[in-house]
Amino acid sequence: WLPDPDQLVERFASRFPHKVAVLHSKLSLGEQFDEWQRIRNGEFDVVIGSRSAIFAPQPDLGLIVIDEEHEWTYKQHDKSPRYHTRDVAIKLAELTGAVVILGSATPDIETFYYAQRGGYHLLQLPERVTPSQSSPLPQVEVVDL
């Protein structure tokens, strides 16, 4: 699952021409292999993909962004190995020195809890990022039942 993949790829490609790789299951096995090899060879600065893209052999990894990290589709549960992309990203960052951003307007409860306890640095956006979405953020009230 990718949040609006065409728009995402288009945005990055405009800033990094010919430097954006795309990996997802809708590519043929041959296309996936070719993209994988080009990533390994360091031909791309950005890799965008579904949960399996976390395993791409990106040299000099500096940043991992898990967009809409609350989505259940980041969990590989139907076949082995079973994993959560968030957890793989965090471990990969530990091993490589990369930074992980877990982005979500509605974070996973586990992620939010960990942030509240100081395990993650929680950043909040008090207003919308893009001017085209100029409507105010909704008021939210948490009720403890």
pLDDT at position 97 is 94
Pairing type for strands 46-49 and 63-67 reads unpaired
pLDDT at position 110 is 92
pLDDT at position 89 is 94
**How many domains, in total, are found in the chain?**
2
**Residues 20, 23, 27: CA angle, nearest 5 degrees:** 120
> Mean pLDDT per segment of 10 residues, for the chain of length 145 residues?
70 90 90 94 92 91 91 86 92 94 90 92 78 71 86
What is the residue-wise DSSP string for 99-124? EEEEE-SS--HHHHHHHHTTSS----
The reply to whether 32 and 65 lie within a common domain is no
The reply to whether 34 and 12 lie within a common domain is yes
Q: Which residue, chain included where needed, has tokens 């791309």?
A: 44
pLDDT at position 93 is 95
pLDDT at position 1 is 47
**What amino acid is encoded at 73 in this protein?**
T
Note whether residue 143 is domain-resident: no
The reply to whether 103 and 79 lie within a common domain is yes
Note whether residue 39 is domain-resident: yes
Note whether residue 10 is domain-resident: yes
pLDDT at position 100 is 94
pTM of the predicted structure, to 2 decimals: 0.79
Domain span at residue 88 reads 61-123
Three-class SS of residue 89?
A: helix
